[in-house]
Structure 1
């Protein structure tokens, strides 16, 4: 692999994709030059200001507006507002010469070969030899784009297909031409993985590459099946969503988000460019989609597509669904399915697939009608679109949000057991024959019964060329708990599994619903610390679930509070606090590895760890106000401690206190890992960000091992925490009262605010005083218990449990 660092990139084209790709490079610390065309005429506003076409702000208007639009989108393409400073804007006419100073040039202009070639001609004028060049095309062949280019350009050029939105979708397809130097591809595969946080998938230069070729096939198969199986749109979206391991937007909602015009264009492009595809006619759209396209019912961009948001007679928002029989919108029907009810009982997705397949209702019928042709189709795309089938699974998981790729689902159903079912399935989809590719039959005949298997904690795939199993390239740098669980689990209860990661490091894996923290989790964490202190070097707390932790088990708190069992509740809160303190003061280093939702108690665990190795996409916050309490697992104490460390003699301490107070009082949740630091949930020098979620546990293990081998010594509990007493309480009480008087908060919000202020200020001490952590923990626990005795707090907890959202009462 070449030894190259990327310090500056040029992104040519600032549309939806270009501006967001620029933001993502800024996210990882790279300097970005973002260019687009200069306008050819003035806008009315520019004319009114007396500007000319030579004015700089006019010449950069298109790129500036595009970037501004991107930064206003929700969710944001940028980790932190301050990172925008890493992006410099300009235009092709005045600033193209500046690309001589960049390490990588990414072309993201409109999907027209003639325009791309014009841009490449300009690039050739200014690009220094050895600079990487790539195109973000979603389908134009590489060999057509490099016609007429220099040898150095060809060697350093390939396709880099980001999926939209680039910050959030993990798939990055790397598409070399025949001229691309292999070392360049190796570099980009590694760089995309480690630095951009992507699942990099090596693709052949074939139409739509891998992700869209398979993803669009699967989506269009459903559009053909919906009428043949006499299904409604809401039935399809219910059946093809999370129960199947697919995103909540399922099939038709996804189309509305992406845009029906996009689906039409991709389908037409595929039909034209895959004449040898046996299932080519799948890309001929059903008549109802043509009808919708003619009416401009394109989805969210035109305010109606398969779904339409309206106001009912009471002024409440309601989402109607398109009836394909009448081509008019109607109210959605409630969907019931025996098969779906059965699948709800099974957390393991692979086992759930088997239950789904064997059902007897419409949901199961659609499952079979979708998957059997899909298995046939993907088997026949090898080696056309990829030499290795696992790349198809990687692309579908990372680009389309499937939890299991098609070959993984096939494994779950049983490869051999499914063959006869594939043959017998009614042929409803164009190109469906019931016959899979010969290499699958050869695999089975040679005694290999699955596409994947795990041996000695390593995941292997069946290699078609060698006719044997090989380790998937690159995953040696990852830790997959599924691969270790069978042989490396040392202890387990209903909430936690303790798994040996090797090299003297244990992992405590939380596996409750939403990874909430109750008595079983507290027991498991303490057991893991006991084991690590006795025989190991360190402990990681991390998991492979959808979220790190949604916080404490509020159902348990609610039951104790309703029964007024305050002694037991006091013990439970005290045990939670003690566990958080053990994370910090145990004799071994504890590294917490958060990602996605890290709320309440999950956030408190992270705040007390020796080190936090977190994923870039971590949404961390103390959100207890939403259920009528204050943070009770050490979070309130910890903010008082951190405020104390920030007080300076020449500054007003109350301002620091106010910021800490508002972070909890407004239940602020970070929108990225770096914002978790900006909000004060993380401390300088005690956290690091992992870009690729697949690397998170390995990075956390490496950090725990590093701390241990550096001679880890447990810190000493603090007894020098400065609290402001009445000096701080005055500000808290006045602020809460004024917010209540202005009707910004309720009376109960005011009460919670005053309880939080009481803890952060150390009570009504007559003067600023130094206190211990235990003193603050006792205040925190007392305030928490007093709030759980309030009727309005119980109403808030009950509302969260039943409705899944906060109640303001």
Structure 2
């Protein structure tokens, strides 16, 4: 049976319900969002003389919840205009409308009795065959479906979104006793393809997969911090980016999520998993009980493990909780000699062996932490999952771990991990020893570009399902490499398409990366059909190598700097004017030079979570790799007869001058950095490279013809220049910008106006590139620009001087 999801109903408009509604709106689905009606008027309604029968009152709860969600940061929605896809209502007047939807998602309070009441009401109006799911983090699915009709039970299961749904990719699907396999297959595919999720089918066990392992890991740390006499700063230092976790690490993450949320799940586990060998670990330590009593719940109450205080001068100071005295104190720095040994190890997986061999407290911490984790996850199979890869998927997608537990274990070595466990008093599950005895020395292996995992019942390595839609660079990098230097690896994706993968620090674009791009284009033009630029880094690219620019400028090596900038421009123009199609596949931070590369590709296949913009003003220059030129070209291409052309140009000028960065790929259409009808957005990052390859191949197969460089770019000359100068004068007079900001803006104005031409003229792209490069170079000779460059290099954030 073919299913199309055109409209969904979300029942419950709280934090999760509204956020789930927004995420369906993100992908273009029509949403009906319903909640209860108020039982009494508020003061504002009483003053207006409203009654409980007025529609505005009856929909007050749902409307307030949705508006609060839309205003929250980070936003649950890709673009504010997408909110028009959501219709609100209440569970009395509008419940009958669920008969028109394709999927009903229940997201009410975590109480079985209330959920059952909601299902009673929904079943009266639900059309047979309609999907119906519950977003629960722990209530057994089998209890929810008791007493329901056969059709209801066949189409019912749990679908656990992680909060916030837009950003956390885990989508757990939990079947009930009678859930149809067709329903599970559909939801699994829909989650991956449309919602951009990592779909994981879980068993109907307490807290399912993600929270069972994740809460164990956090509770283990809560007990360990006291046993090892550690500070919260030390634990956060050891459980953050160094092991591939979020910067917020452990305690800061709990503050963000809310201690009450964590405690709710932990208490549920303590009550419902009496036979768990680590049952006592889910019992809350004393300091957590005290924090709950004091309502120190984290960000939502203003204090948790950390507390932000305002100083007399208006600045902020963050204090930490001393777990012994339970008083807030000044934060303490944390440093460990073991961590120093990992600073030169870029690949996180390669750090684990160094970390567990540490001779200091950090080494002891990792040995205790990892051995407990390994033992726990090995004993959860087959209780929570039959397949070990699902546990890794859940921890990566739900908790933001770069590597799941079994992947970490593999990185250390399975046999070495067992030895480590035994030294700490743990034993692995029997199936691990059976795996070793069968000849499999690792949980995962790679064959022909595909990932295989150890299948416990079959006692052999089996291909992880669902990979056919993916191209995994880690799996093909060595076998498909056609060129490599210090900044890039160029891989053969098959079917005549090459990929350029940035491998520089933070994926910054320097001479080695430019060399790699040019080499890839050379190879593609000679022997292949197309080129994609894609990588799996944390960010696509943070921009040009400003360290190189700073050093050349300080040494006043302006000839060399001029050549370097021209090389950057020429490379971007090759992206645009080569004889083969080029596709850029950006994700996350795509700034400065990374944005310029995307501007010059034949097509952009952007991940939805792409934050793209030209941010060069922050370091005291204008975009110098063709960005200023390209935004001028794009402005000119929007000019229409009888249009106020200056207004169009001003919009593009402000995009650069205000260093606008989109908060999603969809917002980048507003600034014309992504172009409607040409560039596309994909939801699932795992599918992005395969889709980009398809588009490059399609362009090649449809007879791609090498474009001709533009000589017909309309510029407005003194008309635009005068208007921009007046604008910057007013901004400076109003103290909105500094004197140096004004100087940078005027340089940009000169480029985008096409110089001080007497009137409108048609110029070439090369003419604009020359103006751009000249302006860029002149700004690098300014002391205040050097100060901005140096500040960015030292502090990682812009300086306004």
TM-score range, shorter chain: over 0.9
Equivalent position of 1:54 in the other structure: 53
Equivalent position of 1:808 in the other structure: 800
SS of the residue corresponding to residue 440 of structure 2 reads: coil
Deviations 1:364-388 (A, max 9, x none): 2111111101101100100000010
Equivalent position of 1:431 in the other structure: none
Say whether residues 1:394 and 2:393 are aligned partners. Answer: yes
Say whether residues 1:348 and 2:312 are aligned partners. Answer: no
Say whether residues 1:142 and 2:155 are aligned partners. Answer: no
Partners of 2:218 and 2:754 lie apart in 1 by 59
Equivalent position of 1:743 in the other structure: 735
SS of the residue corresponding to residue 368 of structure 1 reads: helix
Which of 505, 508, 514 aligns to 2:497? It is 505
Matches of residues 607-618 of structure 1 in structure 2 within 5 Å? 607-618=599-610
Say whether residues 1:72 and 2:71 are aligned partners. Answer: yes
Matches of residues 560-709 of structure 1 in structure 2 within 5 Å? 560-709=552-701
SS of the residue corresponding to residue 94 of structure 1 reads: coil
Partners of 1:315 and 1:677 lie apart in 2 by 38
Partners of 2:575 and 2:541 lie apart in 1 by 16
Equivalent position of 1:272 in the other structure: 271
1:300 Cα deviation after fit: 1.2
Partners of 1:318 and 1:234 lie apart in 2 by 15
1:457 Cα deviation after fit: 1.5
Partners of 1:167 and 1:630 lie apart in 2 by 33
Equivalent position of 2:511 in the other structure: 519
Partners of 1:420 and 1:663 lie apart in 2 by 57
Deviations 1:449-474 (A, max 9, x none): 00001112211101111111111000
Equivalent position of 1:444 in the other structure: 436
Deviations 1:463-512 (A, max 9, x none): 11111111100012111111001211111000010111111111000011
TM-score by length of 2: 0.99
Partners of 2:713 and 2:557 lie apart in 1 by 32
How many residues end up aligned between the 2 structures? 801
Say whether residues 1:209 and 2:203 are aligned partners. Answer: no
Say whether residues 1:763 and 2:762 are aligned partners. Answer: no
> Which is worse superposed, 329-338 or 400-409?
329-338
SS of the residue corresponding to residue 499 of structure 2 reads: strand
Partners of 2:136 and 2:583 lie apart in 1 by 41
Gaps of 5+ in 1: 428-433
1:288 Cα deviation after fit: 1.2
> Which is worse superposed, 253-262 or 563-572?
253-262
1:349 Cα deviation after fit: 1.1
Equivalent position of 2:86 in the other structure: 87
SS of the residue corresponding to residue 576 of structure 1 reads: helix
Which of 776, 780, 783 aligns to 1:784? It is 776
Partners of 1:176 and 1:439 lie apart in 2 by 26
Deviations 1:701-745 (A, max 9, x none): 111111111111122111000000001011100000000000000
> Which is worse superposed, 217-226 or 285-294?
285-294
Partners of 1:685 and 1:364 lie apart in 2 by 54
SS of the residue corresponding to residue 540 of structure 2 reads: coil
SS of the residue corresponding to residue 589 of structure 2 reads: strand
1:314 Cα deviation after fit: 4.2
SS of the residue corresponding to residue 655 of structure 2 reads: helix
Equivalent position of 2:32 in the other structure: 33
Partners of 1:168 and 1:264 lie apart in 2 by 22
Say whether residues 1:712 and 2:704 are aligned partners. Answer: yes
1:261 Cα deviation after fit: 1.4
Partners of 2:417 and 2:13 lie apart in 1 by 47
SS of the residue corresponding to residue 808 of structure 1 reads: coil
Say whether residues 1:380 and 2:375 are aligned partners. Answer: no
Matches of residues 466-477 of structure 1 in structure 2 within 5 Å? 466-477=458-469
SS of the residue corresponding to residue 93 of structure 2 reads: helix
Partners of 1:731 and 1:555 lie apart in 2 by 35
1:668 Cα deviation after fit: 0.1
Equivalent position of 2:767 in the other structure: 775
Partners of 1:128 and 1:421 lie apart in 2 by 56
SS of the residue corresponding to residue 94 of structure 2 reads: helix
Kindly report the root-mean-square deviation, in angstroms, between the aligned alpha carbons of the 2 structures.
Answer: 0.8
Deviations 1:6-40 (A, max 9, x none): 00000000000000000000000000000000111
1:313 Cα deviation after fit: 5.1
Partners of 1:125 and 1:304 lie apart in 2 by 45
Matches of residues 188-227 of structure 1 in structure 2 within 5 Å? 188-227=187-226
Deviations 1:546-597 (A, max 9, x none): 0100000000000111111111100000010010000011011100000000
Partners of 2:716 and 2:265 lie apart in 1 by 63
Say whether residues 1:9 and 2:1 are aligned partners. Answer: no
Partners of 2:64 and 2:325 lie apart in 1 by 41
Partners of 2:418 and 2:145 lie apart in 1 by 43
Equivalent position of 2:262 in the other structure: 263
Equivalent position of 2:533 in the other structure: 541
Deviations 1:259-302 (A, max 9, x none): 11112211110011111111111101111111111121111111
SS of the residue corresponding to residue 330 of structure 1 reads: strand
Deviations 1:582-629 (A, max 9, x none): 001101110000000000000000000001001000000000000010
SS of the residue corresponding to residue 613 of structure 1 reads: strand
SS of the residue corresponding to residue 351 of structure 2 reads: helix
Partners of 2:480 and 2:20 lie apart in 1 by 40
1:47 Cα deviation after fit: 0.8
Equivalent position of 1:492 in the other structure: 484
1:312 Cα deviation after fit: 3.5
Deviations 1:163-206 (A, max 9, x none): 00000000010001120000110000000001000001110000
Partners of 1:158 and 1:714 lie apart in 2 by 52
Partners of 2:674 and 2:300 lie apart in 1 by 39
Partners of 1:685 and 1:286 lie apart in 2 by 57
Partners of 1:606 and 1:692 lie apart in 2 by 19
SS of the residue corresponding to residue 478 of structure 2 reads: helix
SS of the residue corresponding to residue 435 of structure 1 reads: coil
Matches of residues 280-359 of structure 1 in structure 2 within 5 Å? 280-312=279-311, 314-359=313-358
> Which is worse superposed, 310-319 or 646-655?
310-319
Partners of 2:739 and 2:73 lie apart in 1 by 32
Equivalent position of 1:161 in the other structure: 160
SS of the residue corresponding to residue 744 of structure 1 reads: coil
Deviations 1:200-232 (A, max 9, x none): 111000000000000000000000000111111
Equivalent position of 1:430 in the other structure: none
Partners of 2:3 and 2:236 lie apart in 1 by 46
Equivalent position of 2:453 in the other structure: 461
Equivalent position of 1:151 in the other structure: 150
Gaps of 5+ in 2: none
TM-score by length of 1: 0.98
> Which is worse superposed, 525-534 or 355-364?
355-364
